[in-house]
Chains A and B, each alone.
Chain A
Amino acid sequence: MNESVSFFGLVGRVSKTVLLLVYALFALFPLLWMIIMSLKPDSQMFTTTFIFSPTMENYGAVFLRSDYSHFFFNNLIVSVSAVLLSLVVGVPAAYALARFQFKLKEDIAFTILSFRFAPEILVILPLFLIYQKTGLYDTYFGLIWVYQLITLPLLIWILRGYFEDISPDIEAAAQLDGYSWWQVFLKVLLPLVKPGLVAAGLLCFIFAWNAFTFPLLLSDARAQTSTVVALRFLASDTVHYGQVAAAATISALPEVILALLIQKHLVRGLSFGAVKG
């Protein structure tokens, strides 16, 4: 180590490392515990901590001997579609709210944000009745639609900031360079908001994937998602903690894989707010 590092500098470094380590343990231990539980046979669930005879029995029970995979794919279909729909609707909306001056602009932006104000449990009863009447109950489309309450405000408000940071001059410059408005949007603007798009898209996916209240009450055997179904392993005659843990572990995988895949863009997206220069 460099000799010029002072005593306090050294203490600072060490304590920083220790604190980060403690935090990492705090954050990761529940995940580790979940994985351990999912590998334990029921008989050893309460008698062992770290030393046990691991088994894939729980995964087998969840995936091979139950219809969990069906609900897992339900969740995948509903969440991915909800995010895609939000992107298709939200990107132009965010652009319009950032660029154009029109009447009630701020009111519209605020209304979109206010979708998230009421707790889901508060609006679920009227929604439930409406869904029953209109036939949206227990359909993919019904869930995708109601998920827009979760994903759309998030996407619009994050992307609006990104679009606002791009100088209108850049758009004008690209038009003068010989591009039509759509080409400017695709070739200049979208690459510039890409970090925000990736970050907002991932956050939307996580919120949609983890949604619980809406699928619990607005869907049933056909469209129900894995978050709701995972509870079934608790609710039957005996409590199968191992199977709940296995279901939860599998459930967390898509988010982890997605986050790892787009990590490069994600870090930029969350730390570099603005387009510089």
Chain B
Amino acid sequence: MASVQLHGLTKWYGKRRGIEDVTLDIADQEFITIFGPAGAGKTTTLNLIAGIVAPNGGGIRIGGRDVDGLEPADRNVAMVFESYALYPQMTVFENMAFPLRSPKHRTSASDLDERVRRYAKVMKIDHLLERSIQALSNGQRQRTALGRALVRQPDLFLLDEPLSHLDAKLRHSMRAELKEMRSQLGTTTVYVTHDYLEAMSLGDRIAVINQGRIQQVGTPKEVYFMPASVEVAQLFGDPEINVIDARVKSKPGGLRGLQVLGENVPVGVPADVVLNGAETVKVGVRPSDIDVVETNSAANFHGLVYSFEPLGTKSVLTIDAVDGTRIRALLDGHRTFDVDRRIQFRIDPYSLVFFDVERGRFLAKSKLKGEEARDG
């Protein structure tokens, strides 16, 4: 059990950037997920922590100890690889026993046997111990890889997309199991994933990484509701968040109004939205915060149905707004819409996220109804 500090970590592969200036503090017993799209530098970060590759700059501390220059064997971390990296010539038992037979972690035969069997039971593979790796399904291989990481009680777990090669159903059940396991074990864990659902459901905190740089570190709620940038906002949620250009209109009395898609929105622009002379902002709206309404109202937006995808309990509606902006809405599953039908929709004015136009940085989040009243 240990805390981990990454400090200005940088890795180049020739001219290609792996990661650059990654700084991250991981508390003891914390479960942190590193989330980002393919090629963002997630696995590079893990490999650097494990000592599989050497950094070009920066340093790593595990449990208060500088591990720069230490061999992987000397860092007392355990890793589960995306490819599982099981030893194909060995049985499940031998795979799990392998760390305990190493010079670093040598264990007496009876203790070894007891520990392998105990963790095989935890991973529900105790009936497969004598099987060869070749004869296992993907899910069983994945459990074996986890078991091999668990047996020697390391300071730190590194999990590299452990669920990505499982089929959807198994992935969901394993996600629940992992969540349960982590509360039992309490070992510091770094979990890499490109699935935002995994990142949000498992992590105490999420480190969002893109193009080799950390974009934001925060709790799942922070990252989802107050994304640091348009980029981060777009990585979380499916369908993707709508990012719409909006005009800020000064009103008498210092109040500022907002105009979205040519309509005035009944919400004041928060004071933290500093415009530096510009009149426009980008506004992020989650598809679930858009609703199609049947009753006429001056506050409604107008549009045409562009496409409609029923998904069971929910359905995704894509709308062409009056000014040509395409907007996705997530609606209840029981409603149906014909393509090209004229509709009116509402945007929940209290769920808006403001970004600056130039760099897409987070500016503010519209205040909830109650908060605004209190402010006033």
- A-side interface residues toward B, CB under 8 Å? 167, 169-170, 172-180, 183, 188, 191-192, 275-277
Contact = CB atoms under 8 A, between A and B. Distances in A.
B40 interface: no
A192 B88 contact: yes
Interface of A is mostly: helix
B103 interface: yes
A134 B319 CA distance: 87
Contacts of A277: 86, 88, 133-134, 141
B105 A178 contact: yes
A8 B99 CA distance: 56
A191 B89 contact: yes
Given A172-B72, A178-B105, A275 B88 contact: yes
5 contacts: A167-B85, A176-B52, A177-B105, A276-B134, A277-B133
Given A183-B103, A276-B88, A176 B133 contact: no
B52 A172 contact: yes
B50 A172 contact: yes
Interface size class of B (residues with CB under 8 A): 20 to 34
Contacts, number: 73
A174 B51 CA distance: 13
A172 to B, nearest CB: 4
B110 interface: no
Contacts of B152: 177-178
Nearest to A275: B88
Contacts of A177: 73, 98-99, 102, 105, 148, 152
Across chains A and B, which 5 residue pairs bring their CB atoms closest together, nearest first?
A178-B104, A178-B102, A169-B85, A177-B99, A173-B85
Given A191-B89, A277-B133, A277-B134, A176 B50 contact: yes
B16 to A, nearest CB: 13
A190 to B, nearest CB: 10
Contacts of A178: 73, 99, 102-105, 152
A81 B156 CA distance: 48
Nearest to B82: A169
A177 B87 CA distance: 12
Contacts of B98: 174, 177
A169 B141 CA distance: 15
A180 to B, nearest CB: 6
Nearest to A192: B89
B78 interface: yes
Given A175-B72, A176-B77, A277-B134, A167 B103 contact: no
B83 A167 contact: yes
A170 B89 contact: no
Contacts of B148: 173, 177
A169 B87 contact: no
Given A176-B52, A192-B89, A276-B134, 12 more contacts: A169-B82, A170-B86, A173-B79, A174-B98, A175-B71, A175-B73, A177-B98, A177-B99, A177-B102, A180-B73, A192-B87, A277-B133
A170 B72 CA distance: 13
A167 B52 CA distance: 13
B72 A176 contact: yes
B337 interface: no
A192 B102 CA distance: 18
Contacts of A176: 50, 52, 72-73, 75, 77-79
Nearest to A181: B71
Nearest to A167: B83
B224 interface: no
Contacts of A192: 87-89
Interface in B93-148: 98-99, 102-105, 133-134, 141, 148
B89 A175 contact: no
Nearest to A188: B87
Contacts of B86: 170, 173, 277
